[in-house]
Amino acid sequence: MAQNFQYCVAECWGKGFITHEDASKFQISGFPGNVWQVPAFNREANVWINGVAGVRKTKNEAQAIVDAITQAAQAEWDNIPADDPRKIVGNPNYRPRPVDIALPE
């Protein structure tokens, strides 16, 4: 299977973490656990990962990080009583159950 993306873990410190120059050259997408997805085999993306001190992760490693956080949030949601406003559709405090995220290759 062709590898379209690469992943890293880096904490977004705010201003300057992603610049307009970065964003205009390649797409950067954030996921739970400070997981960031950028194009594979892309020189500019590699420079960005190094610049933000990103710790490279395989797709499976990144998926495991995302899954752990998502599953913890799902478990928290599942433990909310059924009559809690957070579970009542239409209530201003309603929150949908966090969905699974499948990272692409």
Partner 1 sequence: MSTYKQIYGYAIKDVASDPSADEGQLWYNNASYAFKLAALSTVGSWASGGNLNNAVYGQAMSGTQTAALSFAGSRYPLPVTAATEAYNGSSWTAVNAMNTARQYLAGCGTQTAALAFGGFPPATVATNTTELYNGTSWTTNPTGMNTSRANLSGVGIQTAGLAIGGDRLPTTPRTTGAVESWNGSSWTNTTSLNTTRRNTGAAGTNTATIVFGGFIDSPNSVRTESESWNGTSWTNTASLPQARWNMGSAGAQTAALGFGGSSSPAGAPPNNSTINWDGSAWSTLPGTLATSRTRMSGTGTYPAALGAGGYGIPAVTSATEEWTGPGVVVTKTVTTS
Q: Which positions touch partner 1 (CB under 8 A)?
A: 12-24, 27-32, 36, 43, 69-70, 72-74, 85, 89-99, 101
- Closest separation between CB of residue 12 and partner 1, Å? 6
- Closest separation between CB of residue 87 and partner 1, Å? 11
Cα distance between residue 89 and residue 70, in whole Å:
21
Do the Cβ atoms of 59 and 65 come closer than 8 Å?
no
**Based on CB atoms, which residue is closest to partner 1, 16 or 53?**
16
Of 35, 27, 38, give the one whose Cα is nearest residue 60: 35
